[in-house]
Chains A and B, each alone.
Chain A
Amino acid sequence: MAKWPSSPELLGKRIPRLDGPAKTNGAAKYSYDIQRPGMLFGRILRSPHAHARVKSIDLSAAEKAPGVKAALAVIEISPDSKVMYQGDEVAAVAAETEEQARDAARLIKVDYEVLPHLATVEQAMRAEAPRVFKEGNVREANAQEEGDLEAGFKAAAHIVEGVYSTQVQTHNSLETHGCVCEWEGDKLTAWVSTQAVHGTREGFATGLKIPQTNVRVITDYMGGGFGSKFGPDVQGLVCARLAQKAARPVKLMLDRKEEHLATGNRPSAFAKVRAGVSADGKLTAFDAETWGTGGAGAGAGFNPLPYTTYVWPARRRRHRDVYINAGAQRAFRAPGHPQASFITEVVMDELADKAGLDPLELRMRNLPPEAPNAMWSKYFPMAAEKIGWTKRHKTGDPAAGPIKRGLGCAANRWGGAGNPKTQAHCDIFADGSVVMKIGTQDIGTGTRTMVGVITAETFGLPLQAVKVEIGDSNHPFAPGSGGSVTVGSISPPVRHAAENALAAIAAKVAPALGGADPATIVASKGRVHVQSDPSKGMTWKEACKLLGTETISVDGTWQKELATVGTSGVQFSEVEVDIETGVTKVKKIVCVQDTGLILDRLTAESQCYGGIIMGIGFALFEHRILDRNTAKMVNPNMEWYLLPGPSDIPEIDVTIVDQPDRGVVGLGEPPTISTASAIANAVANAIGVRIRSLPITPERVLAALQQDKRGGTL
Chain B
Amino acid sequence: MKPFAYVNAANEKEALAALAQAARGKILPIAGGMDLLAMMKDYIAQPDRIVNVKGLDQTIAATSDGGLRIGAGVRLAELAEHPVARRQYPALTDSAAEVGTPQIRNVGTVGGNLTQRPRCWYFRNEEFDCLKKGGSRCFAVDGENQYHAIFGNGPCYIVHPSSLAIPLIAYGAKFRVAAASGEKTVDASEFFVTPDKNVQVENVLNASELVTQVTLPPPGQTRSAVYEVRFKQSHDWPLAMAVVVLAMAGDRTVQRARVVMGAVAPVPWRSAEAEQALSGKTISEETASAAADAAVKDARPMTENGYKVQIARTAVKRAILKAAGLPVPAFTV
Contacts and interface: CB of A to CB of B under 8 A. Distances in A.
A634 B125 contact: yes
A576 B232 contact: no
Nearest to A575: B331
B144 A403 contact: no
Interface stretch (A335-343, A474-482, A643-651): A643-651
Contacts of B230: 583
Contact of A86 (B1, B121, B127): B127
A632 interface: yes
Nearest to A66: B3
Given A580-B314, A582-B307, A698-B307, A647 B127 contact: no
A629 B126 CA distance: 16
Contacts of A633: 125
Contact of A630 (B128, B232, B235, B332): B128
Contact of A647 (B3, B146, B234, B332): B234
Given A403-B331, A578-B331, A582-B307, A621 B142 contact: no
B233 A648 contact: yes
Contacts of A102: 1
A703 B311 CA distance: 12
A632 B127 contact: yes
A645 B100 CA distance: 12
A635 interface: yes
A56 interface: no
B116 to A, nearest CB: 13
Contacts of A628: 142-144
Interface string B292-333: 000000000000111100110010010000000000011110
B229 A583 contact: yes
B113 to A, nearest CB: 16
Size bin of chain B's contact surface: 35 or more
A401 B329 contact: yes
Interface string A628-672: 111011111001101011111000000000000000000000000
A627 interface: yes
The listed residue with most B CB atoms (<10 A of its CB), out of A86, A403, A627, A633, is A627
A699 B143 contact: no
A625 B307 contact: no
The listed residue with most A CB atoms (<10 A of its CB), out of B144, B230, B237, is B144
Contacts of A58: none
A636 B331 contact: no
The listed residue with most B CB atoms (<10 A of its CB), out of A585, A630, A645, A698, is A698
Given A645-B232, A697-B231, A698-B307, A48 B127 contact: yes
Interface in A569-586: 576, 578, 580-583, 585
A552 interface: no
A583 B231 contact: yes
A136 interface: no
A86 B119 CA distance: 21
B139 interface: yes
A637 to B, nearest CB: 8
B89 interface: no
B196 interface: no
Interface string B137-170: 0010011101100000000000000000000000
Interface string B1-12: 111000000000
A401 B327 CA distance: 11
B144 A703 contact: no
A138 to B, nearest CB: 24
Nearest to A701: B307
Contacts of B314: 580-581
Q: Which 10 A-B pairs have the closest CB atoms?
A: A645-B234, A634-B121, A647-B234, A647-B233, A702-B307, A580-B314, A699-B307, A585-B331, A581-B229, A402-B329
Given A581-B229, A582-B311, A634-B143, 7 more contacts: A578-B331, A583-B229, A627-B143, A628-B142, A630-B128, A647-B232, A648-B234
27 contacts: A102-B1, A103-B2, A401-B329, A402-B329, A578-B331, A581-B311, A581-B314, A583-B229, A587-B332, A621-B231, A628-B143, A629-B142, A630-B128, A630-B139, A632-B128, A634-B143, A636-B125, A639-B237, A645-B233, A647-B233, A648-B234, A698-B229, A698-B231, A698-B307, A699-B146, A702-B310, A703-B306
Interface of B: 1-3, 119, 121-122, 125-128, 139, 142-144, 146-147, 229-237, 239, 304-307, 310-311, 314, 317, 329-332
Interface of A: 48, 86, 99, 102-103, 401-403, 576, 578, 580-583, 585, 587, 620-621, 625, 627-630, 632-636, 639-640, 642, 644-648, 697-699, 702-703
